[in-house]
Amino acid sequence: MNAYDSRKMADVLAPMGYNEVDEPEGADMIILNTCHIREKATEKVFSELGRLKKHKQDAEKEDRKVLMAVAGCVAQAEGDFIAERAPYVDMVFGPQSFGTLPEMVAEATGAYGKKRIINTDFEEEDKFDKLPEETIATGPTAFLAVQEGCDKFCTFCVVPYTRGGEYSRRPEAILDEVKALRDQGVREVSFLGQNVNAYHGLNADGETKSLAELMLMTAEIDGIERIRYTTSHPRDMQDDLIESHAHPKVMPYLHLPVQSGSNKILKAMNRKHERDLYFEIIEKFRKVRPDIAISGDFIIGFPGETDQDFEDTMDLVRQIKYSSAYSFKYSPRPGTTAAKMGGIIREDIKDARLQELQALLNQQMRDFNEQTIGKELPTLFDGTPREGQLYGRSPYNQAIYVTGHPRLDGQMDTVRITGTNGKSLMGELVLL
Ligand code: SAH
Ligand code: SF4
C-alpha cells in the first residue's frame, strides 16, 4: 500500500514539473513515506531523517532549496512529535491527505512567505477523487488500491487509527484505471486493501459490487491476463471470492493472515474468529483450486502466549502447508488495547519461538518450490536484474530467474523450472 501511495504521490506531483530520481543527491524535494505498523519501522524514520537532512544542508550551501517531507502512517500518528524533533522538515502529511500535495507544496514554497505544513486531517471527501485518475505504469504489473482503512480494531493494530475507517472505491473508477494501465502495457493487476475482501464498491446504478464481481469485470478487459488481491481477512471471506478462483485470469494464490493458531490468543487479539474457520476457508479454496498457493501472516509473542498457544500455531502451520508467509514478533503499539495488556512475553522466548516458526515456514516454502521443479509455468517477466537475465513471477507468485533476451521483459512466456535455492526458482524458456 505504501509503494502504491508513493507512486500516486509521483503522479500528483508530475503536473507541477517534478519527476522521480533514483537518489536524494540533487533532488528538489525528498519525501519519506513511512510505516507505523511495528516499532522497528517507526524507529527507522528518525535515523533516515537524520541521514537525509545532510542533503538539505548541502543544498543550502549552494543556495538551493530542498523541500523535506514526512508522509504516511508515522506522520499521521506522530505528526507533532516529528515537527518538534525535526525542525528541518517542511511538510508532514498522513496517508489520507497527499491528494492536496500541490497546495501543500505551493504553501511550503509560497511567494507570500513560506509556511510549514502539518496535515494529518482525515478528509471528509473521497481521497481518491483528489488523485489523478491515471497511474503511470512502471512495468507489466500494477498495484491498485481498491479499499482502504479498517474498522476491525484488532487489539495489536494501528491501522484503524492511521488509515481511518473502511472505505471502498467506486468500481467504475477502478475499471477506468485498469484500462488506462492496460493501454500502457500492464498485463497483471494486484488489487490492494488493508481488508481487500471487505470491498463493497457502490456503482453509478446504486448497486454494491463485491471484490469477486470487481475481479470478474476486470477479467473481461482485453490485455489483462492476471488478477491478484491482497490482503484478506478470514471474517470477510465470501463464497463468490473463493469461486472466482476457477477463472483462469484469477491467480492461484491467496494471502490470508491468521496471526495465531490458538483460539485463546485469537480472542485476545479481537480477530473475531476461531482457528476452525481458517481451516474451513482453506479447504473451500483447495476444492476450487487444488494447486492454490497459500500465504499468511503470523504474530509471535502476543501478551499471554503460552508454550501451548505457540504449539497451536505450529500445528496450524503444519496442517495448512504454506507456500510463503510473513512472521513477526509482537510489537506493542501506542494507543492500542494490547499495549496495555499484562502477560508480556520475554524477548528471548519471542526470539526462540520466531526462529522455530520461521524454520518450519522456510521448509514449507522450499517444499512448495521443489514441487514445481520440472513443471512448465506461464511467467510474466518484470525486470532484467543482470545482463542476459530475466526476472519474472509464476502464477503462484514465485520469483523465477531465467537466461533470456531483454526484449522479453514485460512479456508472458512459458518457463520450465529447473531448480530452486529454496526461496526462488531457476528455469529455462520453453520456445513454442
Ligand atoms: N488487515 C490484515 C493485516 C494488516 S497489517 C489482517 O487483518 O490480517 C499487516 C501485518 O502486520 C499483520 O497481518 C500482522 O501480522 C502484522 N502486524 C500488525 N500489527 C502488528 C504488531 N503490533 N506487532 C507485530 N506485527 C504486527
Ligand atoms: Fe489491523 Fe487487519 Fe485487524 Fe484491521 S483487520 S485492525 S488492518 S490487523
3-state secondary structure of 34: strand
Q: Are residues 105 and 203 in the same domain?
A: no
- The DSSP code sequence of 216-232 is HHHHTSTT--EEEEE--
- The DSSP code sequence of 386-419 is STTEEEEE-TT--EEEEE--GGGTT-EEEEEEEE
For ligand 2, the distance from its centroid to the CA atom of residue 260, given in whole angstroms, is 14
For ligand 2, the distance from its centroid to the CA atom of residue 122, given in whole angstroms, is 18
CATH code, domain carrying 59: 3.40.50.12160
345 lines ligand 2 (CB under 6 A): no
The residue from 55, 86, 119 where one domain ends is 119
Residues 73 and 148 sit within 8 Å (Cβ to Cβ): no
Number of the ligand closest to the Cα of 271: 2
CATH code, domain carrying 319: 3.80.30.20
Of all atoms in ligand 1, which is nearest to the CA of residue 329? 24
Q: Are residues 222 and 184 in the same domain?
A: yes
231 lines ligand 2 (CB under 6 A): no
* Alpha-helix runs per DSSP H in 110-170: 159-162
CATH code, domain carrying 409: 2.40.50
Sequence letter at residue 26: G
- For residue 386, give every residue at least 6 positions away whose Cβ sits within 8 Å of its Cβ, in sequence order, or none: none
Please give the DSSP secondary-structure letter assigned to residue 122: P
258 lines ligand 1 (CB under 6 A): no
Q: Are residues 331 and 383 in the same domain?
A: no
Q: Are residues 315 and 360 in the same domain?
A: yes
330 lines ligand 1 (CB under 6 A): yes
Q: Are residues 108 and 132 in the same domain?
A: no
302 lines ligand 1 (CB under 6 A): no
Rounded CA gap, 79 and 89, in Å? 11
Q: Are residues 191 and 258 in the same domain?
A: yes
> Which H or E run includes 41?
helix 39-61
Q: Are residues 356 and 250 in the same domain?
A: yes
Residue to mutate, 146, 147, 300, 328, ligand 1, most ligand atoms under 8 Å from C-beta: 328
195 lines ligand 1 (CB under 6 A): yes
Please give the DSSP secondary-structure letter assigned to residue 62: T
pLDDT of residue 19: 93
Number of the ligand closest to the Cα of 151: 2
pLDDT of residue 349: 98
Residues 322 and 332 sit within 8 Å (Cβ to Cβ): no
Q: Are residues 253 and 391 in the same domain?
A: no
Instruction: Give residue-wise pLDDT tens across range 41-86.
Output: 888 898 999 999 999 999 999 999 899 999 999 999 999 999 899 9
Of all atoms in ligand 2, which is nearest to the CA of residue 233? 5
3-state secondary structure of 172: helix
195 lines ligand 2 (CB under 6 A): yes
Q: Where do we find the cell 479481537?
A: 270
Tell me the Ramachandran region of residue 383: left when phi exceeds 0, alpha when psi lies from -120 to 50, beta otherwise: left
Closest to 378 (Cα-Cα) out of 364, 366, 360, 392: 392
For ligand 2, the distance from its centroid to the CA atom of residue 144, given in whole angstroms, is 19
pLDDT of residue 123: 65
CA dihedral 393→399→401→404, nearest 10 degrees, is: 10
Q: Are residues 343 and 412 in the same domain?
A: no
Nearest CA to ligand 1 atom 13: 297
Instruction: Give residue-wise pLDDT tens across range 249-272.
Output: 999 999 999 999 999 999 999 999
157 lines ligand 2 (CB under 6 A): yes
For ligand 2, the distance from its centroid to the CA atom of residue 196, given in whole angstroms, is 11
For ligand 1, the distance from its centroid to the CA atom of residue 326, given in whole angstroms, is 10
Q: Are residues 180 and 143 in the same domain?
A: yes
Rounded CA gap, 295 and 254, in Å? 6
Of all atoms in ligand 2, which is nearest to the CA of residue 160? 6
Supply 332's cell numbers: 506493542
For ligand 2, the distance from its centroid to the CA atom of residue 349, given in whole angstroms, is 25
For ligand 1, the distance from its centroid to the CA atom of residue 213, given in whole angstroms, is 27
Domain that holds residue 108: 2-119
Q: Are residues 131 and 113 in the same domain?
A: no
- The DSSP code sequence of 326-367 is EEEE----TT-SGGG-S-PPPHHHHHHHHHHHHHHHHHHHHH
Residues 268 and 312 sit within 8 Å (Cβ to Cβ): no
Rounded CA gap, 168 and 195, in Å? 10
Closest to 297 (Cα-Cα) out of 355, 354, 255: 255
The residue from 88, 119, 150 where one domain ends is 119
259 lines ligand 1 (CB under 6 A): yes
Residue to mutate, 2, 148, 153, 157, ligand 2, most ligand atoms under 8 Å from C-beta: 157
Residue to mutate, 2, 155, 195, ligand 2, most ligand atoms under 8 Å from C-beta: 195
pLDDT of residue 135: 74
pTM: 0.93
Q: Are residues 271 and 419 in the same domain?
A: no
Q: Which parts of the chain sit beneath pLDDT 50? A: none
Number of structural domains found in the chain: 3
Nearest CA to ligand 2 atom 1: 157
Residue to mutate, 40, 211, 266, 299, ligand 1, most ligand atoms under 8 Å from C-beta: 299
Pairing label, strands 91-93, 67-71: parallel
12 lines ligand 1 (CB under 6 A): no
Rounded CA gap, 368 and 291, in Å? 10
Number of the ligand closest to the Cα of 232: 1
The residue from 59, 90, 119 where one domain ends is 119
